[in-house]
Amino acid sequence: MSDLVTTIAKKLLMQPLVRCIDRRENQILGAPKSFRSGPDSPVRFEIVKESMARDYFDIRRMKSPMMFRAMKGVLKSMRDIKRNAEKHKIRISDQDLQDLNGYLNMLGISSVGYVKVPARWVFKDKAIMYENAIVCTMEMNRILIETAPSKAAGRAAHEIYAFEGEAMIKGAEFLRRRGYAAQAGHPLLGMALYPPLAQMAGLGQLGVSGLLVTPEHGPRVRLAAVFTDIDNLPFHKGPTGHEWVLDFCGRCLACVRKCPRKAIFSKPRVEPNGRITCVDNERCFPYFEETGGCAVCIKICPFNRTSYEKLRDIREKMLSPVDIL
């Protein structure tokens, strides 16, 4: 019976929705003024398609209706682009920017940063409408993450896809109401690689696991963005002050040692185009699916359990990170 339910769910729910999302993405790619990927852009890991294609796919592990809600949000984020006025403002006032940040915070966003998107961080054969990004983090449920690997921890991952996606859609609509143009960049099936953008925006530092480590919540966040052509955003430039985190990670390696499938490289691999790969997806993703969303690397990270400031003090005093695990 479960096989029949899964087959019906694929054909009647998931596959039509995935096809609609593909069509919308292709429309953005074909738009005359869209900002497209570069020659060194990474290929997006198609998490939903990969899940559906594998033998162990079970619609119940998609956490429907929450995952289905997130996927509908992906579609809405692209449909809403047509709501942008042809004539719109490209210079934002200090008051509008302050109001936007306050509104995003009210929606549950933990931190906000601004960056010009390099073409190399737009996924291969994808495009975004505008090259300026308002990058956002949102905290995942700490109590649920502490149960990892479990269905509860998986639920935390699926819920935040829906919640943060809806926050980005509302943030984009806020800008439209104030006379600007925007595209919500959903955290699920995003068309740009968010972690390096968030690092460039000064929101944290990429760790050994490839996750962004933030001062507010460590790696226990999901990332998303609102793309816009506003050209006077306070773009971050220069050092972020978080660079020490990578040195700490290199000494710790708890995520490498405790990964259930040994999927995290102890030394990240440098690809021919210079891009850094931290995780073997062929080891990580099957277990992610089996458990409904693993999250062990988030759970055991010292930055998830100890304050950013305390760990910085430990590192400065040259104490071993292993002592605090």
For 114-159, the pLDDT digits (tens) are 999 999 999 999 999 999 999 999 999 999 999 999 888 888 888 9
Q: Is the pLDDT assigned to residue 233 strictly greater than 90?
A: yes
Contacts by residues 47-56 (CB-CB < 8 Å, ≥ 24 positions apart): 47/188, 47/189, 47/285, 48/14, 48/18, 48/188, 48/189, 49/18, 50/285, 51/289, 52/10, 52/14, 52/15, 52/18, 54/286, 54/289, 56/286, 56/289, 56/290
* Spatial separation of the C-alpha atoms in residues 114 and 215, rounded to whole Å: 17
153-196 pLDDT, tens digit per residue, is 888 888 999 999 999 999 999 999 999 999 999 999 999 999 99
Question: pLDDT at position 47, please?
Answer: 85
* Spatial separation of the C-alpha atoms in residues 153 and 117, rounded to whole Å: 31
The closest of 19, 18, 24, 26 to 71, measured between CA atoms, is 18
* Spatial separation of the C-alpha atoms in residues 161 and 174, rounded to whole Å: 20
Asked, as a colleague might, if the bond just before 149 is cis with ω within 30 of 0, I would say yes
Asked, as a colleague might, if the bond just before 42 is cis with ω within 30 of 0, I would say no
- Alpha carbon separation from 61 to 15, 19, 87, 150, 153 (Å, rounded): 16, 21, 44, 11, 12
Count of other CB atoms within 10 angstroms of residue 256: 18
How far out from the chain centre does Cα 296 lie?
17
239-293 pLDDT, tens digit per residue, is 999 999 999 999 999 999 999 999 999 888 877 766 778 999 889 988 888 887 8
pTM to 2 decimal places: 0.91
191-206 pLDDT, tens digit per residue, is 999 999 999 999 999 9
Please classify residue 104 by burial: count the beta carbons closer than 10 Å to its beta carbon, then call 0-12 exposed, 13-18 middle and 19+ buried: buried
